[in-house]
């Protein structure tokens, strides 16, 4: 018989197996892939030392058959506690469960070999290492961290003048700009809103094909691209109008600026205010000089273009995140001479060209490459001057996997 107000719910819950009242929710255990970089078993060569010369052939056959096992101390999988994530959301397949009460939220400013700079919630910069469990999780990326990553880290007792910490979790990402490097993904920056594709009107010469590659990467990552042409004081601005008009007709914003004279810098500051921005382009186009011009306190090291080769000198050697005094963040990246697209099949490239995309579905063949086939709507549009010839040639180079010219 029911005798108290608090006993009835408990009694009814005990009779219902699906009721979770009063039960502690169990954390989810996941079986995840790990990098196979643990201690490997050495082959037992001692067993072959006493063999006769005629038995070496048989010994070679035994060696050829011997394989490293995927179990035990070299196991590729382990059980961890956390939340499963997709490759688009995170560099690792799982969001590890950690004690957040002992951690601080931070943002990665610069990634080093073993130690990275992380800014804490109060603005303090910590030198942080990465937890071994996190580093050994299976991933297709070259590095588990990237500039701009939001992380959880545990503060550690400082051994020097700068605070130290241990990164225990990388939060899910958005706005990731990456490229292919040696068959793996190299994340240039994470968690950005817009990409400033910086090129120069002269010294070094402008490379429209590199602009097209970065536009495709921005479209793939769903990042707002802006074409920024620096050093306009070195040429007659009328010479740039055909290129500016082409990208403007496609819906891209184009800025003409000069870090030397200050032309266009006010508009550039308005565009970057309170946003997360990354600058990318070839060496020597003046990315660091532009940042110094809009925020002198950054004081980023710069060098002039080589007079012999008319190319930049790779003054910026590492991707770095900077807070701007007028609001927002900016990422300065090393200059690129080649930019290979990551995770984009050749058949998908036309879909990222705004001028080719309207004609793709009108081709006769559904698997048309828009290069060699007859009855191709894209090629017909090029012949009718509906698509710029140079842009179409840029598409052909990208489809063939050619380097930037």
Q: Give phi and psi for 120, each to the nearest 5.
A: -80, 180
DSSP E strand stretches across 192-309 = 194-200, 224-230, 253-256, 276-280
CATH code at 78-170: 2.40.50.140
Look over the chain and give the mean of its residue pLDDT values, rounded to a whole number. 82
- Percent of residues, the chain, with pLDDT higher than 70: 77
Q: Are 151 and 131 in contact (CB under 8 A)?
A: no
Q: Which helix (H) or strand (E) holds 377?
A: helix 377-383
Q: Tokens for 87, please give them.
A: 């490759």
What is the pLDDT, as a whole number, of residue 36? 60
- Measured between its terminal Cα atoms, the distance across the chain in Å is 87
Interatomic CA distance for residues 126 and 269, integer angstroms: 29
What is the pLDDT, as a whole number, of residue 403? 78
Q: Do domains 78-170 and 177-332 have the same CATH topology?
A: no
Q: Sketch the domain layout of the chain as residue ranges.
A: 78-170, 177-332, 346-400
CATH code at 177-332: 3.40.50.300
CB atoms within 10 A of CB 403: 10
pLDDT tens readout for residues 337-395: 778 999 899 999 999 999 999 999 999 999 999 999 999 999 999 999 999 999 999 99
pLDDT tens readout for residues 232-283: 999 998 999 999 999 999 999 999 999 999 999 999 999 999 999 999 999 8
Interatomic CA distance for residues 168 and 92, integer angstroms: 12
What is the pLDDT, as a whole number, of residue 25? 44
pLDDT tens readout for residues 203-240: 899 999 999 999 999 999 999 999 999 999 999 989 99
150 forms beta bridges with 107
CATH code at 346-400: 1.10.40.50
pLDDT tens readout for residues 130-186: 998 888 776 767 788 999 999 999 999 877 788 999 999 999 999 999 998 888 888
Interatomic CA distance for residues 40 and 120, integer angstroms: 38
Q: Taking Cα atoms as reference points, which of 331, 266, 332 lies closest to residue 302? A: 332
329 forms beta bridges with 276, 323
Interatomic CA distance for residues 271 and 282, integer angstroms: 21
Q: Average the pLDDT over 107-112 and give the result.
A: 94
Interatomic CA distance for residues 401 and 33, integer angstroms: 31
Helical segments of 234-279, H only = 241-249, 265-272
Range in 23-27, 115-119, 266-270, 363-367 the model is least confident about:
23-27
């Amino acid at each position: 018989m029911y005798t108290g107000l608090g006993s009835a719910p408990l009694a009814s819950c005990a009779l219902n197996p699906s009721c979770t009242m009063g039960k502690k929710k169990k954390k989810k255990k996941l079986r995840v892939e790990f990098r196979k970089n643990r201690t490997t078993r050495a082959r037992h060569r001692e067993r072959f030392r006493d063999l006769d010369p005629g038995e070496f052939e048989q010994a070679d056959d035994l060696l050829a058959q011997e394989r490293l096992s995927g179990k035990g101390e070299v196991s590729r999988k382990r059980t961890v506690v956390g939340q499963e994530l997709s490759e688009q959301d995170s560099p690792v397949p799982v969001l590890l469960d950690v004690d957040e009460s002992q951690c601080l939220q931070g943002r990665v400013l610069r990634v080093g070999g073993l130690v990275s700079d992380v800014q804490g919630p109060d603005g303090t910069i910590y030198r942080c290492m990465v937890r071994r469990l996190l580093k050994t999780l299976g991933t297709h990326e070259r590095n588990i961290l990237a500039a701009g990553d939001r992380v959880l880290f545990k503060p550690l007792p400082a051994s020097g003048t700068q605070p130290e910490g241990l990164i225990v979790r990388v939060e899910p990402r958005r706005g990731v700009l990456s490229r292919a490097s040696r068959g793996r993904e190299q994340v240039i920056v994470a968690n950005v809103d817009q990409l400033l594709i910086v090129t120069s009107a002269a010294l070094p010469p402008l490379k429209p094909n590199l602009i097209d590659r970065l536009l495709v990467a921005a479209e793939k990552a769903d990042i707002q691209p802006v074409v920024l042409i620096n050093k306009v004081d070195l040429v007659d601005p009328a010479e740039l109008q055909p290129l500016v008009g082409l990208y403007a007709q496609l819906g891209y914003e184009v800025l003409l600026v000069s870090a030397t004279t200050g032309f266009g810098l006010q508009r550039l500051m308005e565009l970057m205010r309170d946003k997360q921005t990354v600058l990318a382009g070839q060496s020597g186009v003046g990315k660091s000089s532009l940042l110094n011009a809009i925020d002198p306190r950054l004081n980023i090291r710069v060098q002039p273009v080589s007079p012999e080769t008319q190319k930049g000198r790779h003054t910026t050697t590492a991707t770095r995140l900077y807070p701007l005094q007028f609001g927002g963040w900016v990422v300065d990246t090393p200059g690129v001479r080649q930019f290979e697209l990551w995770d984009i099949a050749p058949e998908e490239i036309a879909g990222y060209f705004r001028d080719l995309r309207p004609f793709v579905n009108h081709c006769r063949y559904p698997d048309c490459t828009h290069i060699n086939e007859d009855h191709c709507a894209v090629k017909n549009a090029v012949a009718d001057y509906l698509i710029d010839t140079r842009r179409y040639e840029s598409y052909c180079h990208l489809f063939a996997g050619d380097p930037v010219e």
